[in-house]
């Protein structure tokens, strides 16, 4: 891949405000863009549903009518879109390609397939635009608090150039070349999806046998069964709080992306395959509006538990 000299990249030293376009103002995009505004950056927001972007107006953001308008003149372009095709359609549209500032840095924080991220990086490079794939973990709570785990794939100098912006959003760890950030996110989502299922099934088993589910969760915390999932999602299960923070449909998309990537690599992932089918069945059964911890509901229904 062609590298642009770091003297021509418009990279800013820590603390210097930058012009940032944020494309996709949903559950994650809104709090992340708000934090960038509050950090003193000039933010231009775009969302397919304009009213979602307009929520950022009180924080000083500008709202664009199109992706091309949003990226025009921006030092950094951040995408938080639903899937690979959506990212490609927005970033690589002819009017958007014509609008990028030479040497602009695209930070794709969406969760997509690794091969899609590599293809986007290649196509942007042909017009002199840099790219890193930097998906996140931590959910809406992490987005609001600026504590996201950010997994970055791409050229080392571009990841370094992104750090002043990403530090507002969380902790960024370089994990390898283009596509590696998405591989790390798939690994994260495999672990998250599988662990949600394990915690839900274990707590339901305890409850079915007559134990106090809340107390069982408390007893397990601090031992080898403890995890961030046990702490946060386990509490949601105890409280039956499945308001959407990370959508069931997004978890299913990520599991499917993991399976497609594994198959392309000739890698067997039987545990992920099982949980992909469980999330798919839950969505098919009408639970798509629940948080991904709502797999608990699907497993409860299988066992005749309300």
| Predicted TM-score (pTM) of this structure | 0.89
By the 10 Å C-beta count (0-12 exposed, 13-18 middle, 19+ buried), 126 is classed as: exposed
Question: Does residue 185 have an active-site annotation?
Answer: yes
Residue 67 has a pLDDT of 98
- Which CATH number goes with the domain that contains 237? 1.10.1040.10
- Is 222 domain-assigned? yes
The dihedral formed by the CA atoms of 167, 170, 171 and 172, expressed in degrees to the nearest 10: -70
- Is 1 domain-assigned? no
Distance CA 187, CA 151 (A): 11
Residue 16 has a pLDDT of 84
DSSP states of 6-42: GGGS----TT---EEEEE--STTHHHHHHHHHHTT-E
Same domain, 23 and 172: yes
Same domain, 285 and 199: yes
Residue 246 has a pLDDT of 85
The dihedral formed by the CA atoms of 113, 282, 246 and 222, expressed in degrees to the nearest 10: -110
By the 10 Å C-beta count (0-12 exposed, 13-18 middle, 19+ buried), 3 is classed as: exposed
- In tens digits, the chain (306 residues) has pLDDT values of 433 333 333 333 445 899 999 999 999 999 999 999 999 999 999 999 999 999 999 999 999 999 999 999 999 999 999 999 999 999 999 999 999 999 999 999 999 999 999 999 999 999 999 999 999 998 888 999 999 999 999 999 999 999 999 999 999 999 999 999 999 999 999 999 999 999 999 999 999 999 999 999 999 999 999 999 999 999 999 999 999 988 899 999 999 999 999 999 999 999 999 999 999 999 999 999 999 999 999 999 999 997
Same domain, 172 and 187: no
Would residue 182 be called left, alpha or beta, if left means φ above 0 and alpha means ψ between -120 and 50 degrees? alpha
Same domain, 160 and 30: yes
- Structural domain of residue 167, as residue ranges? 6-177
Distance CA 300, CA 293 (A): 12
Same domain, 204 and 142: no
Please give the backbone phi and psi of residue 79, each rounded to the nearest 5 degrees, phi first: -110, 135
Same domain, 68 and 108: yes
Same domain, 168 and 251: no
Q: Are 152 and 174 in contact (CB under 8 A)?
A: yes
Residue 135 CB neighbour total at 10 angstroms: 26
Residue 116 corresponds to which tokens in the numbers above? 């899609």
Residue 283 has a pLDDT of 97
Where helices occur in the chain by DSSP H, the ranges are 29-38, 50-54, 67-71, 84-91, 94-99, 114-125, 139-145, 156-166, 180-208, 213-220, 228, 234-239, 248-265, 270-284, 295-302
In Å, how far from its chain's centre is CA 141?
13
Same domain, 113 and 198: no
Catalytic residue, chosen from 52, 113, 185, 253, is 185
Q: Is 305 helix (H, G, I), strand (E, B) or coil?
A: coil
Residue 15 has a pLDDT of 59
């Amino acid at each position: 891949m062609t590298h642009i000299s770091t003297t021509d990249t418009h990279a800013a030293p820590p603390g210097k405000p930058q012009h940032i376009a944020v494309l996709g103002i949903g559950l994650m995009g809104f709090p992340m863009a708000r934090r960038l505004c509050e950090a003193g950056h000039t933010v231009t927001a775009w969302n397919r549903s304009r009213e979602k972007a307009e929520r950022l107006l009180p924080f000083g953001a500008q709202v664009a009518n199109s992706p091309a308008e949003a990226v025009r003149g921006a030092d950094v372009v951040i995408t938080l879109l639903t899937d690979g095709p959506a990212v490609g359609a927005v970033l690589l549209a002819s009017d958007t390609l014509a609008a990028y500032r030479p040497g602009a840095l695209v930070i794709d924080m969406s969760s997509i397939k690794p091969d899609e991220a590599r293809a986007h990086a290649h196509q942007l490079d042909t017009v002199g635009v840099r790219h890193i794939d930097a998906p996140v973990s931590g959910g809406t709570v992490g987005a609001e608090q600026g504590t996201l785990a950010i997994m970055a794939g791409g050229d080392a100098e571009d990841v370094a150039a992104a750090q002043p912006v990403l530090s507002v959003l969380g902790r960024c760890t370089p994990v390898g070349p283009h596509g590696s950030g998405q591989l790390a996110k798939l690994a994260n989502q495999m672990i998250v999806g599988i662990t949600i299922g394990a915690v839900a099934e274990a707590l339901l088993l305890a409850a079915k046998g007559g134990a106090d589910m809340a107390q069982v969760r408390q007893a397990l915390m601090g031992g080898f069964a403890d995890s961030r999932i046990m702490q946060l999602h386990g509490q949601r299960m105890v409280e039956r709080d499945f308001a959407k923070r990370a959508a069931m449909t997004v978890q299913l998309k990520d599991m499917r992306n993991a399976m497609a990537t594994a198959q392309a690599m000739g890698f067997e992932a039987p545990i992920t395959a099982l949980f992909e089918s469980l999330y798919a069945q839950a969505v098919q059964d009408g639970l798509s509006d629940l948080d991904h911890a709502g797999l608990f509901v699907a497993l409860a229904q299988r066992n005749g538990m309300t």
